[in-house]
Amino acid sequence: MIPEIGHYALVLALLLAIIQGTLPFAGAARRNAAWMEAGRMAAYGQLGLITLAFLALMWAYVVSDFSVLNVVENSHSQKPMLYKVAGVWGNHEGSMLLWIFMLSLFGAAVAAFGRNIPPTLKARVLGVQGLIGVGFLLFILATSNPFIRILPAPPDGNDLNPLLQDPGLAFHPPFLYLGYVGFSVAFSFAVGALIEGRVDPAWGRWVRPWTLVAWSSLTLGIAMGSWWAYYELGWGGWWFWDPVENASLMPWLAGTALLHSAIVVEKRDSLKTWTILLAVLTFSLSLMGTFLVRSGVLTSVHAFAVDPRRGVAILALLGLATGGGLLLFALRAHALKVGGLFAPISREGALVLNNLLLSVSTAVVLIGTLMPLVLDVFGHKISVGAPYFNAIIPFLAVPLVLAMAVGPFLPWKRADLAGIMGRLWVAGIVTVAAVMVALWAHGVKPVMALVGIGLAAWAFAGALWEIADRVKLFRIPLSDSLSRAGGLPRGAWGTSVAHAGMGIAIAGMVGTSFWLTEDVRVMALGDKATVAGYELTLDKVAPAKGPNYTTEMGFFTVRVDGRVIATLTPERRWYPVARMQTTEAAIHTTLVSDLYAVLGEPSPDGKGWVVRLYHHPLVPWIWLGSVVMVLGGLLSLSDRRLRVGVPQRRANPVPPTMQPAE
């Protein structure tokens, strides 16, 4: 009964989405307030109905209702509760339901917040959100219904892929989708602005909080995914340039560019055409990621089951949304007025450079991901892997990070670069010091590692010094500096924190890429091994039983200078229902480096086990830095200016007291 309620809720949501995708447009064109209002009500209604459908599917998972096909295929009665819940989105149908749930959440949020947005623009934004909803609800109901019954119900399910039964991965998709889907709001704002034929600084301010929410969520989602790969795949790699990872990286790169160019629209009324295009492209890349993952055109470890019918349907959705958005752009973008001019060396200039580098990076990733597909059409078979990306991306990242520390120091319109560099001397000293420390700890080779650490320190110190410079730290009494710091807009804090987070993350990436120590050996009970100053003793290997798996656990005692500091217990698990083996690495972290142990196969002679031991310097900083970046995003989101009305720029400024209430 409950699955049927979920199914009908989806059908009703589709009807509401059709209303939301049509009436507000007509209302906006005819200035009919009631029709525009209908869009808001439909958005609330959709949220209610889709939440109901989502809860219905979750209920089927929680009580292990094996008369529902989706539950049979992806769950098992013995599976821990956390993974029963996470199993809802650990498969194609359920993840599409999560997708549409997020969409309805954003739709209702646009309806509820943003009271200062002009009613016609708001109606059109909701209308576009409604149309996206129509497309995806139709897709779910026609090709990916998660509520299909199977009779007679089998006694138990097939279990979820054991690699996915992991706390890190349980919450990776919701954040990722919150990011993907969040960019739909920027898309809808861009389409709405194109229909209205008007983009002004206020538009930049309205679109900003949505982009920030989406960007922060996507950053967290990607970080969680890479963290999972790090500890679950059993050797400590954290990024593979896998097509599906690239599918999430492309909207992130484009979204990062969008965050920055929207600032120029907001503050300087410039770069408007470009920003609109970026908003359309960012969401399009999110949609393309969905297409690539689910259509089976690219093979990947993450790819969902292939169904050509679904591929065609998602391609049609991609074509309509992106094609429609870009066509509208081609027809209407000329109506957008060109705004303020600026010199190349200026805040605007730095943001243009940022956009240029991020866009080229997006293109590089796009080409690398799609090339095999494109050449396949001509009968050429190629495979593009990590070597291609590792060869190109650093050349784009180096200038990007160099400029990242300088950009926030530059004033709008025109700047004196030499003077600015003079103010950055502290960041320069920190950079030199960091390189010296790296040189002392790891030697001169590889040189790229020293360059990388220098860049990380430059970004980090530059970001912090920007705040210090603004509050005139050490140049005026400390109490005055502190009160200035309190008075700084949250947006400025957000910038610095996010940039500092990027610096931290880069240091982590550099540390583990260049200074990794590894040791593979056969260890018998009582054997000792030394890795990077840690002495590990294999004390015991014992079988154990988990809720839905059996496992073999190794017990390693870790000593430094004879003192016991930790016990590591890596496992080899066997999931009998899914018939798959997984390795669970054991990690001892000092927050500056990780000691990472994996228990392998018994050695051929039966006397010991193949053991892999790694020392990953700085690796936790990748995720620490990502979290700091997300904090920066959230700080920026809390900026007061995003909640208050935007004073309209006029030819003849009127006194603020006479400004209409917004």
Which residues sit at the interface with another protein, rule CB under 8 A? 163, 229, 233-235, 237, 240-242, 273, 277, 280-281, 284, 291, 295-301, 303, 306, 308, 311-312, 315, 318-319, 322-323, 326-327, 329-330, 333-334, 370, 372-374, 376-377, 381-383, 385-387, 518, 520, 578-581, 583, 600-601, 604, 610, 612
Q: Write down the least CB distance from residue 11 to another protein, Å.
A: 28
Rank residues 299 and 590 by Cβ distance to another protein and give the closer one: 299
Q: Rounded to an integer, what distance in angstroms lies between the CA atom of residue 345 and that of residue 414?
A: 6
How far is residue 200's CA from residue 458's CA, in Å, rounded to a whole number? 35
From the CB of 178, what's the least distance to another protein, in Å? 25
Q: For the purposes of burial, counting CB atoms within 10 Å of the CB of 221, is it exposed (0-12), middle (13-18) or buried (19 or more)? A: buried
Q: Least distance (Å) from another protein to the CB of residue 8?
A: 32
Task: From 332, 321, 328, select the one nearest 284 (Cα to Cα).
Answer: 321
- Per 3-state DSSP, the chain is made up of helix, strand and coil in percentages (nearest 5) of 65, 10, 25
Residues 175/357, Cβ–Cβ less than 8 Å: no
Give the N- to C-terminal CA distance of the chain in Å, as an integer: 48
Nearer Cβ to another protein, position 345 or 580? Answer: 580
**Helices and strands (DSSP H and E) totals, the chain:** 22, 10
Q: Which is nearer to another protein, 377 or 418 (CB)?
A: 377
Q: How many CB atoms lie within 10 A of CB 310?
A: 22
State which residue, 387 or 486, has the beta carbon closest to another protein: 387
Residues 207, 428: Cα–Cα separation, whole Å: 36
The residue (of 308 and 660) whose beta carbon lies closer to another protein is: 308
The least distance separating another protein from the CB of residue 302, rounded to whole angstroms, comes to 9
Q: 119 or 372, CB closer to another protein?
A: 372
**How far is Cα 556 from Cα 22, in angstroms, rounded to an integer?**
64
Pick between residue 52 and residue 370 the one whose CB is nearest to another protein. 370
Toward another protein, which CB reaches closer, 225 or 633?
225
Host H or E run for residue 74: helix 69-74
* Nearest distance, CB of residue 658 and another protein, angstroms: 38
**CB closer to another protein out of 423 and 521:** 521
Q: Residue by residue, what is the 3-state secondary structure of 320-376?
A: HHHHHHHHHHHHHHHHCCCCCCCCCCCHHHHHHHHHHHHHHHHHHHHHHHHHHHHHH
In the bound complex, what is the minimum distance in angstroms from residue 345's beta carbon to another protein?
26
Q: At 654, is the secondary structure helix, strand, or coil?
A: coil
- Please, what sign has the CA dihedral across residues 320, 321, 325, 326? negative
| Residues 327, 325: Cα–Cα separation, whole Å | 6
Closest contact distance (angstroms) between CB of 386 and another protein is 4
Q: DSSP string spanning 553-613?
A: EEEEEEEETTEEEEEE--EEEEETTTTEEEEE-EEEE-SSEEEEEEEEEEPTTSSSEEEEE
Nearer to another protein, 6 or 234 (CB): 234
Quick count: other Cβ atoms within 10 Å of Cβ 18? 17
Query: In the complex, what is the shortest distance from the CB of residue 347 to another protein, in angstroms, rounded to a whole number?
Result: 26
For residue 428, give both structure tokens.
């320069």
Burial call 460-495: b when 16+ CB within 10 Å, e when fewer: bbbbbbbbbbbbebeeeeeeebeeeeeeeebbbbbb
CB of 12 to another protein, least distance (A): 32
Cβ 499 to another protein, closest distance in Å? Answer: 29
Q: Considering the complex, state which of residue 374 and residue 441 has its C-beta at the smaller distance from another protein.
A: 374
**Smallest distance from another protein to CB 587, Å:** 17
Q: Which residues have a Cβ under 8 Å from the Cβ of 143 and sit 6 or more positions away?
A: 307, 309, 310, 313
Q: How far is the CB of 61 from another protein (least distance, A)?
A: 22
Our CB check for another protein shows the closer of 281 and 506 to be 281
And the tokens for 207? 């679109």
Q: Which helix (H) or strand (E) holds 535?
A: strand 534-545
Contacts of residue 649, defined as CB under 8 A and 6 or more positions apart, other chains included, come to: 200, 201, 269
Helix pair 92-112, 172-196: axis angle to 10 deg:
50
How far is it, in rounded angstroms, from Cα 626 to Cα 508? Answer: 10
Q: How far is the CB of 242 from another protein (least distance, A)?
A: 5
Compute the least distance from the CB of residue 490 to another protein, in Å. 34
Closest to another protein by CB, 300 or 537: 300
Nearer to another protein, 114 or 325 (CB): 325
Whichever of 253 and 318 has its CB closer to another protein, that residue is 318
How far apart, in whole angstroms, are the C-alpha atoms of residue 326 and residue 276? Answer: 10
Kind and range of the H or E run holding 534: strand 534-545
User: In whole angstroms, how close is the CB of 29 to another protein at the nearest point?
Assistant: 23
* Nearer CB in complex with another protein: 37/196: 196
Amino acid letter, 203: W
CB of 162 to another protein, least distance (A): 10
